[in-house]
């Protein structure tokens, strides 16, 4: 059972298609904490295609809406395209990376208190993430879906969206399915109409319940020359005009 926690935060300066210590507590809160892969990649049955007896919804809940709910105006879908589709975004190793090693002058600091242990994270933005979020928010309704605990993820999301205009809703670990030691994301929690929903996530296991809605991206740790988010923009610009995103995403070969 995940211990209760309280939080404070301080801010310093392509896909291919055709336990009780501070460190263990930190790892329990943020899946990608200080590692090259998310906790969703834990060993076990990673071929989840349904909801067997070992799948457990931790807690059914609606995603937390943003204050001033709404999506900023943009180009939309053009005539006859209807409402915006939903682009669901993972957090750790997709948009940011957090570690226990850093400095006040380099990373955004998040302190989470777990069982009286203060866990300090230094959070770093993936290259071009601000520009990426600005562009895709013009095309899609954006939702964050992370397997991290809200106590850690909330201040990080606030940091990414300081104007509170980018993200429509936030979903945390409580909205995931826990199966054989891994956290799976069921996109029907966000919208039962999966023709209009896609998930960008560095862990294919995360979208194994909805494989035809997943968009893979390489994990990011610290490469300052990474351009994966920029490389995705032309594809995402085109995908929003499809009637059913699965007709394109199901062609993925890796």
Choices 1.10.10.60, 3.40.50.1000, 3.30.70.3450, 1.10.10.10: CATH for 54-96+125-249: 3.40.50.1000
The predicted pLDDT at position 58 comes to 43
Give the mean pLDDT of 99-108.
Answer: 77
User: From the candidates 41, 45, 90, 168, which is the catalytic residue?
Assistant: 90
Average pLDDT, the chain: 77
154 within 8 A of 110, measured Cβ to Cβ? no
92 within 8 A of 29, measured Cβ to Cβ? no
In order of 78, 133, 154, the CA distances from 161 in angstroms are: 26, 9, 11
Give the mean pLDDT of 218-233.
Answer: 98
The predicted pLDDT at position 20 comes to 39
CA dist., res. 194 & res. 244, Å (int): 8
- Catalytic residue list contains 92: yes
Structural tokens at position 66: 């943003």
- Collapsing DSSP to helix, strand or coil, 182 comes out as strand
End-to-end CA distance of the chain: 35
Taking the CA atoms of 193, 145, 17 and 50 in sequence, report the sign of the dihedral they define: negative
User: In the chain, what are the domain boundaries?
Assistant: 54-96+125-249
Give the tens place of pLDDT for each residue, 111-162.
887 778 888 999 999 999 999 999 999 999 999 999 999 999 999 999 999 9
Q: Which residue has the tokens 């071009």?
A: 128
User: From the candidates 36, 41, 45, 92, which is the catalytic residue?
Assistant: 92
Give the mean pLDDT of 247-251.
Answer: 95
Which one, of 96, 31, 30, 84, lies nearest residue 198 by Cα? 84
- Catalytic residue list contains 191: no
The predicted pLDDT at position 104 comes to 64
CA dist., res. 247 & res. 27, Å (int): 37
- Give the pLDDT band of residue 30 (cuts 50, 70, 90): low
- Collapsing DSSP to helix, strand or coil, 240 comes out as coil
Note the pTM of the prediction, 2 decimals: 0.74
- Give the pLDDT band of residue 100 (cuts 50, 70, 90): confident
Instruction: Kindly list the strands in the beta sheet with 214-216, ordered across the sheet, starting from the edge strand earlier in the chain.
Output: 64-65, 167-171, 141-145, 86-89, 197-201, 214-216
The predicted pLDDT at position 3 comes to 35
């Amino acid at each position: 059972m995940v211990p209760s926690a309280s939080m404070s935060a301080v801010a310093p300066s392509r896909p291919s298609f055709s336990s009780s210590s501070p460190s263990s507590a930190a790892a329990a809160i943020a899946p990608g904490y200080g590692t090259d892969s998310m906790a969703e990649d834990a060993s076990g049955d990673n071929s989840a295609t349904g909801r067997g007896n070992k799948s457990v919804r931790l807690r059914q809940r609606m995603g937390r809406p943003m204050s001033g709910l709404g999506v900023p105006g943009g180009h939309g879908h053009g005539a006859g395209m209807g409402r915006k589709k939903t682009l669901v975004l993972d957090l750790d190793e997709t948009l940011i990376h957090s570690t226990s090693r850093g400095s006040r002058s380099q990373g955004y600091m998040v302190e989470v208190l777990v069982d009286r242990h203060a866990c300090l994270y230094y959070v770093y933005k993936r290259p071009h993430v601000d520009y990426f979020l600005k562009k895709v928010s013009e095309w899609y309704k954006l939702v964050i879906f992370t397997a991290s605990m809200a106590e850690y993820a909330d201040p990080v999301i606030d940091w990414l969206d300081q104007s509170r205009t980018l993200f429509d809703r936030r979903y945390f670990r409580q909205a995931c399915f826990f199966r054989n030691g891994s956290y799976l994301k069921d996109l029907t929690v966000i919208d039962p109409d999966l023709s209009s929903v896609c998930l960008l996530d560095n862990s294919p296991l995360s979208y194994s319940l909805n494989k035809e809605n997943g968009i893979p991206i390489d994990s990011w740790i610290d490469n300052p020359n990474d351009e994966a988010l920029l490389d995705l923009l032309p594809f995402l610009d085109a995908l929003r005009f499809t009637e059913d995103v699965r007709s394109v995403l199901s062609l993925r070969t890796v």
